[in-house]
């Protein structure tokens, strides 16, 4: 066990040195991380009825998982991030006595909340929120940020949502903020298409919260919007309504099922 622990610590130091340096090589980090995850299986890094880990084993495993979660965000790998967080929550929420708190705990728990919001998993968001302490919910900047985002969503206050992009507590939050804002922008664009026969270029840019014309030009191209005379985007509402009628029943059924599942989770 001592030899295995010594080897794991050596690999961890190499991983930490590479990961936290400027312009880290993520491929090298991934190789170190893979070796560490294998090494951890030979250690008693979580309390059980049969074994009690040393503090060093416990902290080592937690730190390795934290780097894995952070690296997943850098690689834009949401499923991997969720796997790491499912393991980290055990360290963060279940075993807290006589263990020093990680400097990344609140940041990663806040990222997890934002990840759920970005995927519109609101019921799971509230379930995770209930596991946190009142002090963290009220006072921790990493936790308060996703709570504020969820409130803006419920209010439909999209202006504050887009302003929140420039006020994130950590750089890693921008990934999920961009996903969330992209989804909101798509919803606004869909409403525009169904509500207006045409809309001016300037008004479209304002409603979609684009800072530059280049951003709107690229976005309108991706949605097959054509700019007509007088710099107006024109939409065929009649055709859209016909297409909507064909799928309305199926979409309604899917929404009802989704709401029922979320209600069941909340209860």
Mean pLDDT of 206-231: 90
Residue-wise pLDDT tens digits, 35-48: 998 888 887 766 66
Mean pLDDT of 83-100: 86
| pLDDT at 138 (0 to 100) | 92
Q: Of 70, 72, 139, nearest to 107 (Cα)?
A: 70
Q: What is the mean pLDDT of the chain?
A: 86
Share of the chain above pLDDT 70, in %: 91
Residue 73 has pLDDT above 90, yes or no: yes
Residue 136 has pLDDT above 70, yes or no: yes
Residue 115 has pLDDT above 70, yes or no: yes
For residue 49, name the pLDDT band (cuts at 50, 70, 90): low
Count Cα neighbours of 177 within 13 Å in the Cβ-side half-sphere: 23
Tokens matching residue 170: 């950590």
Residue-wise pLDDT tens digits, 220-248: 999 989 888 889 998 875 545 554 544 55
| pLDDT at 237 (0 to 100) | 57
Give the strand pairing for 198-200 and 232-234: antiparallel
| pLDDT at 166 (0 to 100) | 83
| pLDDT at 51 (0 to 100) | 67
DSSP H or E run through 23: none
Residue-wise pLDDT tens digits, 149-188: 999 999 888 888 888 888 899 999 999 999 999 999 998 9
For residue 194, name the pLDDT band (cuts at 50, 70, 90): confident
Q: Where are the alpha helices (DSSP H) in the chain?
A: 2-19, 26-40, 55-74, 78-89, 105-118, 122-129, 134-139, 141-155, 158-164, 173-195, 201-207, 213-222, 237-266
Rounded to whole angstroms, the Cα distance separating 129 from 109 reads: 9
| pLDDT at 204 (0 to 100) | 92
Residue 250 has pLDDT above 90, yes or no: no
Residue 1 has pLDDT above 60, yes or no: no
C-alpha distances in angstroms, 220 versus 32, 183, 190, 254?
43, 15, 12, 28
Mean pLDDT of 13-30: 91
Q: Of 228, 156, 159, 162, nearest to 199 (Cα)?
A: 228
Long-range residue pairs from 221-225, CB within 8 A, at least 24 positions apart, any chain: 223/189
Neighbours of 208 (CB within 10 A): 19
Mean pLDDT of 71-92: 93
| pLDDT at 97 (0 to 100) | 75
Tokens matching residue 47: 């309390």
Q: Of 209, 165, 169, 170, nearest to 186 (Cα)?
A: 209
Rounded to whole angstroms, the Cα distance separating 71 from 86 reads: 15
């Amino acid at each position: 066990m001592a030899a295995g622990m010594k080897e794991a610590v050596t690999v961890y130091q190499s991983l930490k040195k590479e990961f936290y340096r400027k312009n880290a090589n993520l491929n090298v980090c991934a190789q170190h991380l893979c070796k560490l995850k294998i090494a951890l299986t030979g250690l008693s890094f979580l309390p059980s009825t049969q074994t009690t880990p040393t503090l060093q084993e416990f902290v080592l495993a937690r730190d390795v998982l934290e780097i894995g979660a952070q690296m997943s965000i850098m690689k834009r790998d949401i499923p991997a991030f969720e796997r790491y967080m499912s393991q980290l929550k055990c360290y963060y929420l279940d075993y807290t006595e006589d263990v020093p708190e990680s400097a990344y705990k609140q940041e990663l728990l806040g990222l997890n909340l934002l990840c759920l919001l970005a995927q519109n998993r609101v019921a799971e968001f509230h379930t995770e929120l209930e596991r946190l302490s009142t002090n963290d919910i009220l006072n921790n900047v990493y936790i308060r940020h996703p709570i504020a985002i969820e409130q803006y969503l419920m209010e439909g206050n999209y202006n504050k949502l887009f302003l929140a992009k420039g006020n994130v507590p950590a750089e890693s939050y921008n990934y999920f903020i961009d996903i969330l804002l992209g989804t909101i922008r798509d919803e606004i664009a869909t409403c525009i298409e169904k509500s207006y026969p045409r809309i001016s270029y300037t008004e479209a840019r304002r409603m979609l919260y684009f800072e530059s014309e280049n951003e709107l030009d690229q976005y309108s191209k991706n949605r097959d919007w054509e700019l007509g005379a007088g710099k107006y985007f024109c939409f065929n509402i009649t055709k859209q309504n016909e297409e909507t009628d064909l799928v309305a029943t199926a979409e309604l059924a899917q929404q009802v099922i989704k709401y029922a599942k979320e209600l069941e989770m909340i209860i």
